[in-house]
C-alpha cells in the first residue's frame, strides 16, 4: 500500500482472512488493529496470534504430570447438556444441598466426619482459618510460613482471614515445647496451623512436630496438605504405594492422627478438577459451610460433577480410571517401549531421534524432589517454539542441548500426534 493509497476496508480485510478459525467479530478486530497500525498485511498474523491465545488442548510432553501452566491434572470427564440435581433432594422434591454429592464422597474416601468443597486450595485454607481462628491467634511454625505458586503466602492468607499469626520455633527446627510456650503466652489461641511445604524440601538439621503431638495441646489443628493425597496406602492402585510418594502426608492418616481439619486441592494428587477441600470434624465443617465466604467460594455444577466422577473411581479402587494415576504408575518398560516406537516412526520419516531414559515428576507442588523413572524421545537442537506452533501445540523440555518429549506425561493415544509434531518441527528447522 502506497503512502497516498486509501486504507483497505476493514470488513473486506476481515473477510480475506476468514479461513482463520475465529468468529467474524474477532477477525474484524484483528483487521481494524492492522489498519490502525498502518500495516494491513499483518491482519492474518494478528488473528492467528489471537487464536493461539485462546484456551485450547495441548500435548504435555514436559514430563511434569501436574503442570500448573497446563491445568494440572488431566481430566477425563465430560457431560452432556442438561439439568442436574445440584441443589435438589430427589427423595422429597425440596431444595437440597451441594454438599450431599461430591463433598460426601470426599468425606468417605478421606475418613472424615464431613467435608466441604470450594473453588480452590487457597480458598479452602482461607475459609477454614476464617472460621476456626478469625480474630484469634493462630500458631504457625516459622519453617511453614511458605510461599507457593501464584504468590500464595501463608502470612497473607492468615491476615486476610482475620487470624492473628503467632510465629513458633525457627525456620529449620520447631519443637513441641515451642508450641507450649506460645500457647502459654496466647491462651486463647484459635488454632494451630500446619502447612505442608508442597513445592520444596528442607533437609539437614531440621525438626518438626507431628500432628499426633500437637492435637493434645488444646486448640484444633488445621493441616494444609496441599497435594490432595487421600490415603498413604493408595488402595486404588494395584500393588504397594509408589516409592516416589514417600513421606507425602495423606488426608486419612492426618485426620486419624488428630487433626481437626485438613485442606487440600482437587487438581493435584487427587487427579480431579480445580477445587479446594475442607475435611474433618463435622461441627467445624458445618461452621465453614455457614460462613458468608462459603457462598463466594463455592464451585459450580461442572466442577462438582467432575470431582464426583473422580471420587467414585477412588471408591471403586479403580486408579486406572484417573488419568493422573494412570500416567504416573504406567510401567517403566511400557513407557520405554512407546519411546522406542515414536523414535522408530520418526526415523522412518527421515528424522534422527533417539529413545532415551529420563525422569518425570509429579509437579503441581506435590512430592518435591522425587522423580518418576520415565522415557522419551530426544532430537538435537531447540525445537520448542516450533512444537508450540503445531496443531495441537506440543510442550517439551530441553536437556543437554536437545529437545526432549517425555512420554510419561503424554497419553498413549497422542503418540502419533507427537510423531507428526516433532517431524514437522525438525523439518521446519532445516529449511
Other CB atoms closer than 10 Å to residue 239's CB: what's the count?
7
pTM of the model: 0.92
The pLDDT of residue 77 is 80
Domain 98-321: CATH class, spelled out: alpha beta
**The length of the chain, given as a count of residues:** 431
Q: What is the pLDDT of residue 75?
A: 87
pLDDT of residue 132: 96
CA dihedral (173, 175, 177, 178) positive or negative: positive
Work out the number of other CB atoms within 10 angstroms of the CB of residue 159: 13
- What's the pLDDT at 367? 78
User: 168 pairs with which residues across the strands?
Assistant: 141
d(CA 372, CA 149) in angstroms, rounded, equals 22
What pLDDT was estimated at residue 200?
Answer: 63
Q: What is the pLDDT of residue 366?
A: 77
- Quick one: pLDDT at residue 6? 75
**390 three-class SS:** coil
> Which H or E run includes 64?
strand 64-66
Query: Dihedral angle at the C-alpha atoms of 290, 291, 293, 296, nearest 10 degrees?
Result: 20
User: Do 154 and 146 touch, CB atoms closer than 8 A?
Assistant: yes
Q: Describe the chain by its helix, strand, coil percentages, rounded to 5.
A: 45, 20, 40
pLDDT at 78: 82
How many other CB atoms are there within 10 angstroms of residue 19's CB atom? 9
What residue ranges of the chain are covered by domains with CATH 3.90.1150.180? 59-74+330-430
Residues in CB range of 145: below 8 A, 6 or more apart: 153, 154, 155, 167, 195
Q: Are the CB atoms for 311 and 279 separated by under 8 Å?
A: no
Answer yes or no: are the C-beta atoms of 206 and 143 closer than 8 Å: yes
Domain with CATH 3.40.640.10 in the chain: 98-321
C-alpha cell at 292: 458468608
pLDDT of residue 226: 82
- Domain 59-74+330-430 annotated CATH 3.40.50.300: no
- Per-residue pLDDT 10s for the chain (431 aa) are 555 667 789 999 999 999 999 999 999 999 999 999 999 999 999 999 999 999 999 999 999 999 999 999 998 788 888 899 999 999 999 998 988 899 999 999 999 999 999 999 999 999 999 999 999 999 999 988 887 766 678 889 999 999 999 999 998 899 999 999 999 999 999 999 999 876 566 777 778 999 999 999 999 999 999 889 999 999 999 999 999 998 899 999 999 999 999 999 999 999 999 999 999 999 999 999 999 999 999 999 999 999 999 999 999 999 999 999 999 999 999 999 999 999 999 999 999 999 999 999 998 777 777 899 999 999 999 999 999 999 999 999 999 999 999 999 999 999 999 999 999 999 987 65
Amino acid at each position: 500500500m502506497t503512502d497516498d493509497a486509501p486504507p483497505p476496508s476493514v470488513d473486506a480485510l476481515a473477510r480475506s482472512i476468514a479461513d482463520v478459525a475465529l468468529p467474524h467479530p474477532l477477525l474484524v478486530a484483528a483487521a481494524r488493529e492492522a489498519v490502525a497500525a498502518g500495516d494491513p498485511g499483518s491482519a492474518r498474523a494478528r488473528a492467528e496470534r489471537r487464536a493461539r491465545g485462546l484456551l485450547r488442548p495441548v500435548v504435555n510432553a514436559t514430563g511434569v504430570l501436574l503442570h500448573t501452566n497446563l491445568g494440572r491434572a488431566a481430566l477425563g470427564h465430560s457431560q452432556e447438556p442438561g439439568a442436574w440435581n445440584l441443589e435438589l433432594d430427589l427423595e422429597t422434591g425440596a431444595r437440597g444441598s451441594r454438599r450431599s454429592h461430591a463433598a460426601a464422597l470426599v468425606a468417605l474416601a478421606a475418613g472424615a466426619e464431613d467435608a466441604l468443597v470450594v473453588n480452590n486450595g487457597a480458598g479452602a485454607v482461607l475459609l477454614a482459618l476464617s472460621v476456626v481462628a478469625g480474630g484469634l491467634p493462630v500458631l504457625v511454625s516459622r519453617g511453614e510460613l511458605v510461599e507457593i505458586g501464584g504468590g500464595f503466602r501463608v502470612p497473607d492468607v492468615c491476615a486476610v482471614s482475620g487470624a492473628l499469626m503467632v510465629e513458633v520455633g525457627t525456620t529449620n527446627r520447631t519443637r513441641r515445647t515451642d508450641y507450649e510456650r506460645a500457647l502459654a503466652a496466647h491462651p486463647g489461641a484459635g488454632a494451630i496451623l500446619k502447612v505442608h511445604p508442597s513445592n520444596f524440601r528442607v533437609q539437614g538439621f531440621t525438626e518438626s512436630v507431628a500432628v499426633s503431638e500437637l492435637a493434645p495441646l488444646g486448640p484444633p489443628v488445621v493441616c494444609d496438605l496441599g497435594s490432595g493425597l487421600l490415603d498413604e496406602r493408595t488402595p486404588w492402585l494395584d500393588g504397594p504405594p509408589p516409592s516416589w510418594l514417600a513421606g507425602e502426608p495423606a488426608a486419612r492418616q492426618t485426620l486419624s492422627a488428630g487433626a481437626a481439619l485438613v485442606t487440600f486441592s482437587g487438581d493435584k494428587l487427587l487427579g480431579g478438577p480445580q477445587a479446594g477441600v475442607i475435611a474433618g470434624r463435622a461441627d467445624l465443617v458445618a461452621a465453614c459451610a455457614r460462613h458468608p465466604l462459603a457462598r463466594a467460594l463455592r464451585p459450580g455444577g461442572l466442577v462438582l460433577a467432575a470431582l464426583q466422577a473422580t471420587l467414585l473411581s477412588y471408591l471403586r479402587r479403580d486408579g486406572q480410571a484417573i488419568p493422573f494415576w494412570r500416567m504416573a504408575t504406567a510401567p517403566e518398560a511400557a513407557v520405554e517401549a512407546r519411546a522406542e516406537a515414536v523414535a522408530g516412526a520418526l526415523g522412518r520419516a527421515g528424522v534422527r531421534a533417539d529413545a532415551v531414559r529420563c525422569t518425570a515428576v509429579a509437579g503441581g507442588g506435590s512430592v518435591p524432589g522425587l522423580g518418576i523413572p520415565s522415557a522419551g524421545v530426544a532430537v538435537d537442537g531447540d525445537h520448542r517454539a516450533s512444537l508450540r506452533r503445531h496443531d495441537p501445540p506440543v510442550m517439551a523440555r530441553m536437556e543437554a542441548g536437545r529437545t526432549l518429549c517425555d512420554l510419561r506425561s503424554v497419553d498413549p493415544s497422542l503418540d502419533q500426534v507427537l510423531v507428526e509434531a516433532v517431524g514437522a518441527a525438525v523439518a521446519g528447522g532445516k529449511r
